[in-house]
Amino acid sequence: MKSKDLQNIVVSKYRNGDEPTKIFRDLSGGLSLETIKRWCKMIDTIGSIDLTYSTGRPRIVRTPGAIEKVKNRADAGGRVSIRKLARDLRISRISIHRILKKDLKYSAYKKKFQPFLTDAHKAKRKAFANWVRINFRKEQTMRILFSDEKNFDIDGVYNLQSDRVWAPSRAIANEKGGIVEKRKFPQKVMVWLGACSNGISSLVIFEEVTVDHARYIKEQDGATPHIHQLTQQWCQGHFPSFIGKDRWPPNSPDLNSLDHSIWDWNKIASKEH
């Protein structure tokens, strides 16, 4: 049966009160149920079946009005997804994406976490910054020693966001190294390192020892064990320009250069040991 004949049958039956499901059964599979529903929607909308007519979301070019609507929604703040914008504004997701990227020059940024700071915290930070500017000359900052300890385990560190395996299927991806096996209790080693303007210190490796207060004094930072009285006393006796815990403002950012430049497990794991 020709397409035109099927169209005439659908029009006749639908106008006589038959529902799309009954028309589908009467045609014994001659047309899919989705096609019959789409044709019935055309009959309701334009009075006939026109295969050049689209019953879906209207095609909208990137007009100034559409661009302005997208901009207003994006600038309003809050969580905005391309899918939701497309549904609310009745614009295709591709057009929404092009408006955001090409017309508005917008980029998608992940939300970041930062410490909660009260007005009192901010005032203490400002006071501390002014105190440092008054009491420390530029050449004195070259004498700062950054030190840190870190635990490494033999399993290594993997970034699940960026460590991807491209493959046509999950099974093939697994064969190409897409599975990372993690031990429940991997072997670990603690290391210590210092860095200053003259370079880095020798690497100190703590192997098969228990790092406790009986043998070691924790280095200074904001953690509770590190501001213990013994730690403060030791630092006061060994560092002439030591800044005590009472001077530092709360929620101070960790600006240790070792965290940002030295502790790179990917570089360590890339070498044979």
Assess whether pLDDT exceeds 80 at residue 252.
no
- The DSSP call for residue 111 is -
Q: What is the mean pLDDT of the chain?
A: 78
Percent of the chain with pLDDT over 70: 79
Beta bridge partners of 148: 193
Assess whether pLDDT exceeds 90 at residue 126.
yes
**In terms of domains, do 90 and 183 share one?**
no
pLDDT digits (tens, 9 = 90+) for 146-193: 888 877 776 666 666 666 777 778 888 788 777 877 777 777 778 888
**In terms of domains, do 26 and 149 share one?**
no
- CA 71: distance to chain centroid? 23
pLDDT digits (tens, 9 = 90+) for 197-212: 888 888 888 776 666 5
**In terms of domains, do 83 and 171 share one?**
no
pLDDT digits (tens, 9 = 90+) for 66-106: 899 888 988 887 677 888 888 888 888 888 888 998 898 88
Query: What sign does the dihedral 39-44-46-48 (CA atoms) show?
Result: positive
- Number of domains comprising the chain: 3
The whole-angstrom separation of Cα 102 and Cα 105 is: 5
**In terms of domains, do 215 and 246 share one?**
yes
- In a domain? residue 238: yes
* H or E element, residue 5: helix 3-15
Considering only CA atoms, which of 147, 146, 158 is closest in space to residue 265?
Answer: 158
**Residue 63's pLDDT band (cuts 50, 70, 90):** confident
Amino acid found at 264: D
* H or E element, residue 196: strand 188-196
**In terms of domains, do 8 and 135 share one?**
no
- In a domain? residue 192: yes
Assess whether pLDDT exceeds 60 at residue 226.
no
Q: How far is it between the farthest Cα atoms of the chain?
A: 99
Q: What is the pTM of this model?
A: 0.45
- Distances from the Cα of 270 to the Cαs of 1, 152, 202, 257, 266, in angstroms? 67, 14, 21, 22, 6
**In terms of domains, do 95 and 176 share one?**
no
Mean pLDDT of 245-269: 70
Considering only CA atoms, which of 112, 66, 120, 90 is closest in space to residue 250?
Answer: 120
**Residue 130's pLDDT band (cuts 50, 70, 90):** very high
**Residue 270's pLDDT band (cuts 50, 70, 90):** very low
Length, in residues, of the chain:
273
Domain span at residue 12 reads 3-46
- In a domain? residue 18: yes
Tokens of 4: 């035109």
- In a domain? residue 97: yes
